[in-house]
C-alpha cells in the first residue's frame, strides 16, 4: 500500500503530478467526461501498473490522451474522415480508434497487441495543463477498479483506488459525466461506444449513420463487457412503478423517488450526475439491496446513459 496524495490543480500540483508521471508513476486526473487513471503511455512499467491498479484484464486496450492534433498525428494515421471528426469534436469527449503509426513509441501493452490505437484530446483545462507539463502521451482508462462505476469526482477515485496509485489531481466534478464516444472511422464509421458526443452530432459531420454491429474480423471495443459499471445492489430498468423496498431513481416527474437524474427530464443534466447518483443509490440500498431506475429516452446523451444502465443491470460474470 502507498499513501495516495490528493493534489490541487494549481502550478505546484500539476508540476508534482508531471514529475510522478515522467518517473513511471500513476496519477488520476480530471477530464470533462470522467477521471482518468494516467500513466506514461511510453513506459512499459507505468502501463502495466495501470492494469494492476485497476485489476483490468490485459486484453482490454487503453485510451491514449494527447494535448493536440500535432501530438495525435505522431501516434496514429489520420485520413480525411478522421481529420474531419477531429476538427469537429476535439478537444472534447470523443475517442478515435485509428491505425497505429509505425515507430510511435508506445508501450505495446497500451494497445494490447492491436494494430490500432484509441486516441483522445480532452478539453478539461487541468488535463490539458497536465499533458503539456508532462510532455508525454498519457494512457488513461477510467480511474475505477475494473467493472465498477466510473468516477466523476476525486472522492470517487479515492474510494476505489486509494493506496494503489501515487496521486489524484482534484479538479472538482466532471461536467459531461459519461465517458467519451468511441468511433472507428470508415465506410460506414463504427460506433464502438456511445458517450459524451451524441450520435446525432456525429451523423451531421459524417454524413451517414455509424454502424453499431460487430463482425468477427473487427470486434467492437474489447472492453465492452456485458457486466460493467456495477453497483453492489441489483438494478432494474425502465421502472415507472417501483416495488416496496426498492431505491427508485427518477427521471422527469417521479413522485416519491429517493433520487433524481433530472427533475426536468434533461438527458444532459442526467449524464452529469449519473455515476454519482448510482453510487448514492447503492449506499442507500445496501449490499443486498435493490435499485430501480425510471425510463430515460434514447435521444442525445440518453443513448450513453441507457448503455451504462444496461451494463450496470447485467448479470454479473
Residue pair 76/59 in contact by the 8 Å Cβ criterion:
no
82 marked among binding-site residues: no
Write down the least CB distance from residue 208 to Mg ion, Å. Answer: 28
Number of Cβ within a 10 Å radius of residue 15 = 14
Alpha-carbon Rg for the chain, nearest whole angstrom, is 19
> Of Mg ion, ligand TXA, none, which one does residue 303 interact with (CB within 5 to 8 Å by kind)?
none
Convert residues 126-165 into a mask of x (bound to Mg ion by CB under 5 A) and - (unbound). ----------------x-----------------------
Q: Indicate the residue among 17 and 111 with the shorter CB distance to ligand TXA.
A: 111
Convert residues 87-116 into a mask of x (bound to ligand TXA by CB under 6 A) and - (unbound). --------x-x-------------x--x-x
- The interface with ligand TXA within residues 237-276 (CB under 6 A) comprises none
Residue pair 149/312 in contact by the 8 Å Cβ criterion:
yes
Number of Cβ within a 10 Å radius of residue 257 = 20
Establish if 223 lies at the interface with ligand TXA (CB under 6 A): yes
Write down the least CB distance from residue 220 to ligand TXA, Å. Answer: 7
Report how far Cα 39 is from the mean position of its chain's Cα atoms.
15
156-164 contacts at long range (C-beta below 8 A, 24 or more positions apart):
156/35, 156/275, 156/276, 156/279, 157/28, 157/35, 157/37, 158/4, 158/6, 161/4, 161/28, 161/37, 161/53, 161/54, 162/4, 163/1, 163/2, 163/3, 163/4, 164/1, 164/2, 164/4, 164/52, 164/53
Which of 168, 182, 230, 235 forms a contact with ligand TXA (CB under 6 A)?
182
Which of 40, 75, 117, 197 forms a contact with ligand TXA (CB under 6 A)?
117
Which of 48, 175, 224, 268 forms a contact with ligand TXA (CB under 6 A)?
224
56 marked among binding-site residues: yes
**Annotated binding residues:** 33, 56, 60, 65, 120, 140, 142, 150, 180, 193, 229
Q: Give me the residues that bind ligand TXA (CB under 6 A), please.
A: 31, 33-34, 36, 60-63, 95, 97, 111, 114, 116-118, 120, 140-142, 179-180, 182, 192-193, 221-224
Amino acid at each position: 500500500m502507498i499513501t495516495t496524495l490528493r493534489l490541487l490543480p494549481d502550478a505546484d500540483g500539476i508540476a508534482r503530478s508531471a514529475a510522478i508521471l515522467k518517473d513511471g508513476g500513476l496519477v488520476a486526473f480530471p477530464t470533462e467526461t470522467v477521471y482518468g487513471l494516467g500513466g506514461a503511455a511510453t513506459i512499459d512499467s507505468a502501463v502495466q501498473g495501470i492494469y494492476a491498479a485497476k485489476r483490468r484484464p490485459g486484453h482490454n486496450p487503453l485510451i491514449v490522451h494527447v494535448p493536440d492534433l500535432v501530438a495525435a498525428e505522431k501516434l496514429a494515421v489520420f485520413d480525411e474522415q478522421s481529420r474531419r471528426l477531429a476538427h469537429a469534436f476535439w478537444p472534447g469527449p470523443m475517442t478515435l480508434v485509428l491505425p497505429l503509426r509505425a515507430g510511435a513509441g508506445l508501450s505495446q501493452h497500451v494497445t494490447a497487441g492491436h494494430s490500432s490505437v484509441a486516441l483522445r484530446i480532452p478539453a478539461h483545462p487541468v488535463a490539458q495543463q497536465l499533458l503539456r507539463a508532462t510532455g508525454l502521451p498519457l494512457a488513461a482508462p477510467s480511474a475505477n477498479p475494473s467493472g465498477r462505476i466510473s468516477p466523476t469526482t476525486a472522492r470517487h477515485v479515492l474510494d476505489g483506488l486509494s493506496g494503489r496509485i501515487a496521486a489524484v489531481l482534484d479538479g472538482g466534478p466532471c461536467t459531461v459525466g459519461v465517458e467519451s464516444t468511441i468511433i472507428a472511422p470508415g465506410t460506414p464509421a463504427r460506433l464502438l461506444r456511445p458517450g459524451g458526443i451524441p450520435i446525432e452530432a456525429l451523423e451531421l459531420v459524417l454524413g451517414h449513420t455509424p454502424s453499431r454491429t460487430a463482425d468477427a474480423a473487427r470486434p467492437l471495443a474489447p472492453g465492452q463487457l456485458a457486466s460493467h459499471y456495477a453497483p453492489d445492489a441489483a438494478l432494474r430498468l425502465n421502472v415507472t412503478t417501483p416495488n416496496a423496498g426498492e431505491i427508485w431513481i427518477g427521471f422527469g416527474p417521479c413522485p416519491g423517488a429517493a433520487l433524481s437524474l433530472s427533475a426536468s427530464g434533461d438527458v444532459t443534466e442526467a449524464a452529469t450526475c449519473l455515476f454519482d447518483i448510482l453510487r448514492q443509490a447503492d449506499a442507500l440500498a445496501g449490499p443486498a439491496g435493490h435499485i430501480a431506475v425510471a425510463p430515460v429516452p434514447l435521444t442525445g446523451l440518453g443513448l450513453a446513459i441507457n448503455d451504462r444502465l444496461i451494463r450496470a443491470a447485467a448479470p454479473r460474470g
